[in-house]
Amino acid sequence: MARIKKQERHAVLVRQIKEKPFLTDEELAKLLEVSIQTIRLDRMELGIPEVRERIRQVAEKAQENITTIDKGEIVGELIDLERGHTGISLLKVSEDMVFSKNHIAKGHFIFSQANSLALAVIDAPMAVTGVANIKYKAPVKVGEMLVAKAEVIRQRSNKFFVWVKTRNEVQEVFRAKFIMVSLAEEI
């Protein structure tokens, strides 16, 4: 790629960050074939925050869309939510989430991340978990970052069928198929 003008680079930078807000300065530098320092200067000039701040902003925006449960009841950090369709949350496994003897994560934390994401992603004012079919596929250790992705597969009456897949940096570690039941019609 030939060296592009500053204005063109700024336009590409803004477009890339709009499409993928989690791109790091290093990834942007590689993409635009400039130094990391150039990217940082361009971001400052354009008023674009660093990746951590962009993630926080996206997470706050996603949490504003939740109707089924309160923001504080989500296990993990909700970073994307299209109510009625999909959602993504992050959970960093800390020392207090693992067994002291083997440093493997306790299953209820992984389940809670998936279950609370399934509740958040459905488009209902109030709901409970009707059925959960779960599978722990690999052990999770302290320090790992878990990414849970939920998708509403279908809706029948007041029942939402939600699949959640959780991965660490390497592999899928957990999967769940939930039937979430909206209580709105019964109240």
Length of the chain: 187
- In the block, which residue shows the tokens 């909700």? 78
Residues 155, 160, 161, 165, CA torsion sign = positive
Tell me: pLDDT of 185 over 60: no
pLDDT digits (tens, 9 = 90+) for 98-131: 999 999 999 999 999 999 999 999 978 888 999 9
* Domain residue spans of the chain: 6-48, 59-186
Q: CATH number for 59-186: choose from 3.40.50.2300, 3.30.230.10, 3.10.129.10, 3.30.360.10.
A: 3.10.129.10
When pLDDT is averaged across residues 174-187 and rounded to a whole number, the result is 83
Tell me: pLDDT of 19 over 90: no
Domain covering 6-48 assigned CATH 1.10.10.10 in the classification: yes
